[in-house]
Amino acid sequence: MKTRKLGQLEVSAIGLGCMGMSEFYGDRDEAEAIATLHRALDLGVTFLDTADMYGPFINEELVGRAIKDRRDQVVLATKFGNVRTAEGGWGGVKGTPDYVKQCCNDSLKRLGVEVIDLYYQHRVDPTVPIEDTIGAMAELVQAGKVRYLGMSEAAPDTIRRAHAVHPISALQTEYSLWSREPEDEILPTVRELCIGFVPYSPLGRGFLTGAFQSPEDFAPDDYRRHAPRFQGENFAKNLALVDQVKAIAAEKSVTPAQLALAWLLVQGDDIVPIPGTKRRKYLEENVAVVEIVLSQAELDRINAVAHQGAAVGDRYADMSTVNR
């Protein structure tokens, strides 16, 4: 496995998003999830991504059990800030210093580790000065509970203010062939500050795999049934985009998912996508992309098909919590 740098933090060139192992994307299979995590480590995937809100809370516990005997092989990333109740309810976004420290202590216990390698603020709390939130996170670094700091879905000015308080190693934001908005301001900002970039949902929440032909393909409790891009006319228009990606992938004898991930890796050595999967089959497919080489002609074709704005519909039903 090749490696890349997120600031000063060295990680595998491809990470593993663990959210879907516990929530949002249909049925759960804990045994297969743990087998997938173990297989990821066997293949040299060192970068594992979770959050306290996934499950809620149980995804951190799952990851903790899986890495218990292999902690030295893992660069462990988790997040705080999206408030969930034990019953699964939503309580908004919170970034007060006391809450930051409470969440970190709780995550350490659930993960069964002494230190978190990369600790993200999952969403920015507009009611708390970013200097206060990052200041509390910096105290966690000083206390030895966290090694590096990250942010997610933050706006350029917020990133700059945060970085002035304590170095930010990674920014996590949705980025893929159908979510190219970070190219305008976010990527230039993090590159100026030498902050690594971690695209989440690099396969368009699975849509870019080409596996879905109808909204009915999703389980009744699947989050995507209620996401704007997966509904009605938007679904049909986005499916046409995926069909073109599939055609290019077929010519190259790779899967659409592999083409989408290979395209992301070409966008810069500071980019480390974290495709999520809960099955070994798809994990192995994703990891293989580090060996795929795209020609300039192929990149030009992909960019012409999946240009910025090609996808139809907002990323979330409520976009008020992102890029702020």
| Catalytic residue list | 54
215-218: long-range contacts, CB 8 A cutoff, minimum separation 24: 218/26
SS3 273: coil
Q: What is the dihedral of CA 213, 53, 97, 71, to 10 degrees?
A: -100
Asked if 39 and 48 count as a contact pair (C-beta separation under 8 A), the reply is no
d(CA 296, CA 303): 10
d(CA 35, CA 37): 5
Alpha carbons within 13 A on the beta-carbon side of 179: 22
d(CA 137, CA 149): 7
* Residue owning tokens 């008020």: 320
**Cβ count near 223 (within 10 Å):** 16
DSSP element (H, E) containing 23 = none
d(CA 43, CA 39): 6
Tell me the two tokens of residue 289: 């992309």
* Residue owning tokens 């006319």: 233
